[in-house]
Structure 1
């Protein structure tokens, strides 16, 4: 475990200040998402966008490829969120990661789509999952389990 953390810190030290800044921003955004989720979800949902069915034409439009610069930014944000998540002082789950990436993309004026899905699990309950797409990039939450059915999206 210590060796793994040391290796990751060494990797982060070698990626340059821009990526380091993205990891710091991703960490702060995941903390903000965690704090927002202490509120009732309907209140949180109002800030995530409009809740629409997966077949809504805006879903494909907002997730579609845009400029190469926006796609590169979306990839970099996805990388930063994924890099920061294991080091958070709490378990950063898919919804917090998707919310953090969405916040980061919004600050840069890049549209995104947050997807929600569900599938049955072993305990006769429903397992939920959230993932985010932007600028033709699979930003967070991938790969999606094959049994996961898409329920709705925030655009």
Structure 2
């Protein structure tokens, strides 16, 4: 475990200051998402995420579609930063916090995204839930999606 952390720290040291800043922003965004989810009811948090729509809503495909190469590169870089930082957060940064963090980072850059929500039965009356994010034709966070996961709704 310590060897893995040292390897990742060396990797981060070698990626350049722009990516290092992106990882720092991802950490701050995941922390903010965690705090929002701890302090506010999800109904209040949801209001900050956009319109809650069916996956069949035309805005879903429109906002997830490929845009400019620069926006796609930014979406890929943000996805990388969030996924890279998540294991090192002082709390368990689950798919919802990662999607919320990437969504906020993309929004700050004027890039539209779609946050998807899905669920699947896990037996004994429990449900497994999952969140994932698409933007600019890029699968930003939450991939791969478990094949038994059914999409329920989206925020656009």
TM-score (norm 1): 0.99
Q: 1:79 corresponds to which residue?
A: 80
Q: Extract structure 1 runs of 4+ deviating beyond 2 A.
A: none
- After the TM superposition, which residues 3-152 of structure 1 pair with which residues of structure 2 at under 5 Å, given as runs? 3-38=3-38, 39-152=40-153
Secondary structure at 2:27's aligned position in 1?
Answer: helix
Name stretches of at least 5 consecutive residues in structure 1 with no aligned partner.
none
**Aligned-pair CA distance for 1:133:** 0.1
Name stretches of at least 5 consecutive residues in structure 2 with no aligned partner.
none
Structure 1 residues 43-101: Cα deviation after superposition (integer angstroms, max 9, x where no partner): 00000000000000000000000000000000000000000000000000000000000
RMSD of equivalent CA atoms:
0.5
Change over 3 Å in CA distance of 1:20–1:56 after alignment to 2: same
Task: Provide the rounded CA distance (Å) in 2 between the counterparts of 1:25 and 1:76.
Answer: 12
**Aligned-pair CA distance for 1:123:** 3.5
Matched residue pairs, number?
155
**Aligned-pair CA distance for 1:124:** 2.9
